[in-house]
Chain A
Amino acid sequence: MIWSKLISIFNIMSRDNRNISKRIISFRHSDSPLTSKRVSVIISNRKDSVNLAEAVRSLRHNVKASFKVSESTKNKIKDLQKA
């Protein structure tokens, strides 16, 4: 019981930080990043980054804005999911 408690506290082997749509804090990565992993991939691509910002601006004008990411970004996100 003590051991499981220790594991839960330290969470060294946690798989939670593999979640690409959440900014999970783990024992090893106690400094949460500013963006989730998939957003990090999206904003790494200049065009996708602009599309994301544009979608936010559209949303602010009460227009539901969706955007598609480029093929390379799509593949990188898929790779993240597989990892």
Chain B
Amino acid sequence: MNFALSTLLLFFLLIPGILFRRFYYSEEFSKEYFKETFFGVFIATFLPSLFFHFLWYFLVKIFNQEVDLFILANILSQNPEKSSFSNIQQNSINILLYNASMFLVAGVSGYSLKKVVRKQKWDRLNKFFRFQNSWHYVLKGEFFDFPKADITLDEDTVEDIEFVFIDAIVEINNESYLYDGILVDYELSNDGGLRNISLTGAERRNLKNDSKIVDGIKADNSGKYYPIKGHILLLKYSEIKNLNFTYYTLTFDKEKGEFTPREVE
């Protein structure tokens, strides 16, 4: 058996699965592509490959073509017959079209399946489809739709969440500061953790200046806040001690022409 050739062929046979998986874990879930174990990757690549090869094996018969497995086995043998290589040479265009179409469909299928899973919210409703990017579900409030979530939305839906307000405690020179603002962006690290968050309309105050609560009523401490000038404040996750998320929607008063924020319920 020619090991170099069989290894190359094995890789070639796995390409549909590789493409399917690469496009399934795309865009917001692209980091997950690199996260799985070798065994996990192998299975997630091998099974779709097997499926597409099986499908194409029968589909080509519609076009009066046939995949001759004997030739495939023969070129992998120790003494391949010359006729096998001649056959491949003669049908090179068909082989190219066969593989190119399979690769294209595998990639498009992976991408489309991810879109369907997201559109139909299967990843929120069923753990089997859930992506490992847990920050995505927290930062966008999609965890409210998890069947096992302890807190759910009674009046609003996840789609009603219009923005997320964040409070983050950051330690600077042994003093803790509370930063707050509207979440506008986030970035994930390669291991799927959070790398940084970006806030706009941010302010900060020393944690010592907490509101005093008298008779259950929170005293106004807005004077203790220091407004941070600038468009975006970027906070490194590695420097954040705690994060608090509050999900808001807006109501618009047409008569007054005013917007009022309201927590989703």
User: Which A residues are closer than 8 A to B by beta carbons?
Assistant: 9-11, 21-28, 30-32, 34-36, 38-39, 42-43, 46, 49-50, 52-62, 64-69, 74
Whether B222 lies near A61 (C-beta < 8 A) is: yes
Question: Bound complex: CA of A22 vs CA of B159, how far in Å?
Answer: 5
Q: Is B28 an interface residue (CB 8 A)?
A: yes
User: Of A22, A23, A64, A69, which contacts B260 at CB under 8 A?
Assistant: A64
Known contacts A56-B248, A64-B260; is A23 also within 8 Å of B162 by CB? Answer: yes
Chain B contact residues: helix, strand, loop or mixed: strand
The interface centre, meaning the residue of B164, B218, B227, B250 with most chain A CB atoms within 10 A of its CB, is B250
6 example contacts (A-B, Cβ-Cβ < 8 A) are as follows A9-B119, A23-B140, A23-B162, A34-B140, A34-B164, A55-B259
Question: Bound complex: CA of A50 vs CA of B202, how far in Å?
Answer: 8
Residues of A within 8 A of B231 (CB): 46
Interface size class of B (residues with CB under 8 A): 35 or more
Residues of B within 8 A of A21 (CB): 160, 162, 249-250, 252
Q: Is B15 an interface residue (CB 8 A)?
A: no
User: Of A24, A49, A57, A66, which contacts B159 at CB under 8 A?
Assistant: A24
Residues of A within 8 A of B116 (CB): 9-10, 27
User: Of B180, B200, B211, B253, which contacts A49 at CB under 8 A?
Assistant: B200
Residues of B within 8 A of A56 (CB): 165, 182, 246, 248, 261
Question: Bound complex: CA of A42 vs CA of B185, how far in Å?
Answer: 15
Q: A21-B160, A52-B182 are in contact. List 16 more A-B contacts (CB 8 A).
A: A9-B119, A10-B116, A22-B160, A34-B163, A34-B164, A34-B183, A34-B185, A36-B163, A39-B182, A46-B231, A49-B182, A56-B261, A59-B263, A66-B253, A66-B260, A67-B258
> Quick one: CB contact mask for B136-171 with A, threshold 8 Å, 1 for yes?
000110100000000000000011111111000000
Which 3 residue pairs spanning A and B have beta carbons closest together?
A53-B201, A30-B118, A66-B258
